[in-house]
Amino acid sequence: MDSLDERASKMREALALARLDDLLPHVRDQLPVPPGMAFTLLSLIFRQAAADGVDFLSPREDFHAWLLQAARLNHRGSPAKPNTVRLRLSLLSNIYTQALQAGLLDHHPLDGLQRPPNERAGAPLLSREQITALHRATRNDPALHAALVLIDEHAYRVRELLQLQWDDFDLGTGAVLRPHTVTRLSDPALHALQTLQQQAGGMFARGRVLPYNIERDLRAALHSACRKAEVPYAPPGDLRRASLRDHVHSTHSAGFSAQGGNTNLERATRLARGVATALEHPSPLPLKR
């Protein structure tokens, strides 16, 4: 058994039996947080799964409802903050992505999961002028530039970006296959990909479109680009929300599924635009008496 088969076999057993200790050594290198933090964030979910007999490789019908309930509790029983819940779900989603890549699944079990709204207590989303400056600063880095344009023009998620294959594109028609739909690329997105394709061998380009192996690689490149553009660092999720805030999207252009896509798109757009409005025009603090 070669090392890849051995890794897949151990991941399969650890997921089926909800053994986080056995799983982390095989997924830790591609997680966006250190292994110790990942263990702290996920241990309660895996402990509850073991107690309830949940098989992460063959989730039960009410898996999303079960998972949201398990992710909302802290170690002392207090409710977790929405951002903590989102991070826990993001880590599990990352693990599922690795399981998909290892051939353990034929679909992503968290597709369609309704995550809690993001807490926006920090800095507001980048302005349109700042996003334009960021795009301008990345023109000498075709891979990062293409990633940022895809996020901005078509609301791409990080998971989608890391899984993009040249075979998913028909650059003659500008169509791209996505997990839930086919998107007709905008002219800026098509141009960015054509530039990157020329570097990858033109019409003979094969394999992954972007060179980033894990999310941290993309975030590191983005962080450097934000410094170069002299704009505040904005993670990919914030850039996606800025896309929903600033552009008029259809379900196809933003990658939403045909079933329930309009509802999810409208909800995401309202959240992005409502968040921006709340941060730009905060409610006044009550006067102290």
Please check whether residue 21 is in contact with residue 53, taking contact to mean a CB–CB distance below 8 angstroms: no
Residue with tokens 């094969």: 206
Token digits of residue 39: 């263990």
| Whether the Cβ atoms of residue 200 and residue 165 lie closer than 8 Å to each other | no
Task: Look up residue 122 and give its DSSP letter.
Answer: S
Express each pLDDT in 248-276 by its tens digit. Answer: 888 888 888 766 667 777 777 776 766 44
Domain 128-280 CATH class label: mainly alpha
- Tens digits of per-residue pLDDT, 60-106? 889 999 999 999 988 777 888 888 898 899 899 999 999 999 999 98
Q: What percent of the chain has pLDDT over 90?
A: 58
How is residue 47 written in tokens? 């402990």
C-beta atoms surrounding 136 within 10 Å: 11
Burial 66-83 (b: 16+ CB within 10 A, else e): bbeebbbeeeeeeebeee
Q: Which residues are 175's β-sheet partners? A: 170, 184
Q: How far apart are the first and last CA of the chain?
A: 73
Q: CB-hemisphere CA count at 13 Å for 196?
A: 29
| pLDDT at 44 > cutoff 60 | yes
Alpha-carbon distance 124 to 127, whole Å?
A: 8
* Separation of alpha carbons 232 and 91, rounded Å: 25
Using DSSP's 3-state secondary structure scheme, residue 18 falls into: coil
Residue 280: is its pLDDT beyond 50? Answer: no
> For residue 247, what pLDDT band results from cuts at 50, 70 and 90?
confident
Q: What is the side-by-side strand order in the sheet with 182-184? A: 169-170, 175-177, 182-184
- Tokens matching residue 229: 């553009």
For the chain, the domains span 3-101, 128-280
Tens of pLDDT, residue by residue over 152-170, are 999 999 999 999 999 999 8
Average pLDDT, the chain: 86
Kind and range of the H or E run holding 1: none
Q: How far is CA 88 from the centre of its chain?
A: 13
| Residues 6+ away with beta carbon under 8 Å from 105 | 57, 96, 99
pLDDT band (50, 70, 90) for residue 289: very low
Spatial separation of the C-alpha atoms in residues 41 and 89, rounded to whole Å: 9
Q: For 158-211, how does the pLDDT look when each residue is reduced to its tens digit (9 = 90+)?
A: 999 999 999 999 878 989 999 888 999 999 999 999 999 888 887 788 899 999
Rounded Cα distance between 219 and 33, Å, is 12
pLDDT at 122 over 60: no
Rounded-to-integer distance, Cα 39 and Cα 57, Å = 19
